[in-house]
Structure 1
């Protein structure tokens, strides 16, 4: 008898960190595109108010 497929559980910690490191360049590129669009739409003051958080998002 064949047992039904059981989804694997992700390990917490290591796999989450690995996923974050792989998605970092994508996330930075996505944020750059969103920031540019937001500035073109006139949201400069809102973005600038984020201060250090904005720099963190840019660097990843």
Structure 2
């Protein structure tokens, strides 16, 4: 992944991370996905795929790895 693409995706992550915790919760992910037409059930499926360590949140590294 190019450095430019990584910066773009990191900025997107930060925009979705409303509470600025450094992690995306299911509710933040649902809200972000809804803006681009992804349903709640699809957002749940995406979270399951992104959340490699199964802690219920998506870290920026998990997000970037998934978006590769």
TM-score of the superposition, structure 1-length normalised? 0.35
Larger radius of gyration, structure 1 or 2?
1
Higher relative contact order, chain-length normalized (CA < 8 Å, sep 6+): 1
Which has more helix, going by share of residues? 1
Give the TM-score of the pair, scaled to structure 2: 0.33
Which structure shows the bigger proportion of residues in strand conformation?
2
